[in-house]
Amino acid sequence: MRTPVDQPIYLDYQATTPLDGRVLDAMLPYLAGTFGNPSSIHEFGFAAAEAVDRARAKIAAGLGAERREIIFTSGATEANNLALKGLAAAAAPRRHHLVASATEHPAVLEPLETLARAGFDITLLEVDQDGLPDLDRLAAVVDERTLVVSVAAANSEIGTIPPLRAIADICHAQGALLHTDAAQAVGKIPLDVDREGVDLLSVSAHKLYGPKGVGALFVRHEHRPKLRPLLDGGGQEQGLRSGTLNVPAIVGFGAAIELAGEKLPQEARRLAHLRDRLRDALTQER
């Protein structure tokens, strides 16, 4: 029998977080009693659709977005694929160039590899010793051919936070869009899509004490016609992501992002303190 000292300590929050008990409480009614399909036009469906709409509003508020700009997906991987492949599928022939940081998550790099095999030009930017892309180099490679630049809002390995606003300005000067994989940033640092100039943003609920299997893609409303869906079917999510919505998970996602926003300032200070204690202990001379 293990004593408390023998219990393993979980330090892999970068990969996933435990489900917050308050998030589970919010989800439970939609796992049993309120079970309707939100696309159904009857009382059961309306109740589920209202729950989805409330969650969508919470997620939009957490990102500084509008409700109509939030498209639910199965997670940030699907959102990244929808952003990059969806833009490429709808792009004008002259916009055949995509750019990303070389240190992006595989959920960005592998879709770009697929697009490269389909004939798109891909540029991967090397980063400096701090893990940041060189803005002068970025400005040199982004031109009138560039469709989108993808740079993570926080690097999944070392936590580097790039200057998204400056990157957005470089993109927009050439008519290109900025996509950011924000799976490691939302709920941990202040993030506002208007302030940062972001056009598309991917997020997963399970990185911020929400359930696995649900995420979202923010698409600035004026760019929605530039995006082609990956899935064909019932036309859910404004025609951009067909499939019956995972109502309990979406409700949990909304609860998680709301809770994260409420505790963001104090949580950032708490985590910084723990980080410093760990670093100091590991580097202390013996």
Placement of tokens 């982004």 in the chain: 142
Q: What pLDDT, in 10s, does the model give residues 180-227?
A: 999 999 999 899 999 999 999 999 999 999 999 999 999 999 998 899
The total number of structural domains that make up the chain: 1
Residue 281: inside a domain, yes or no? no
Q: What's the mean pLDDT when you consider all of the chain?
A: 93
What range does the domain containing 143 cover? 25-231+247-261
Which of these, 71, 4, 91, lies nearest to 245 by C-alpha position? 71
Q: Residue 224: what are its φ and ψ, rounded to 5°?
A: -60, -40
| 83, burial (CB in 10 Å: exposed 0-12, middle 13-18, buried 19+) | buried
Q: What single letter denotes the amino acid at residue 114?
A: T
Distances (CA, A) of 108 to 56, 76, 261, 275: 24, 10, 26, 28
Q: What is the pTM of this model?
A: 0.93
Q: What pLDDT, in 10s, does the model give residues 62-103?
A: 999 999 999 999 999 999 999 999 999 999 999 999 999 999
Rounded distance, CA 55 to CA 171, Å?
Answer: 31
Residue 273: inside a domain, yes or no? no
Which of the pair, 63 or 14, is modelled with greater confidence?
63
Instruction: Provide the CATH number for the domain around residue 58.
Output: 3.40.640.10
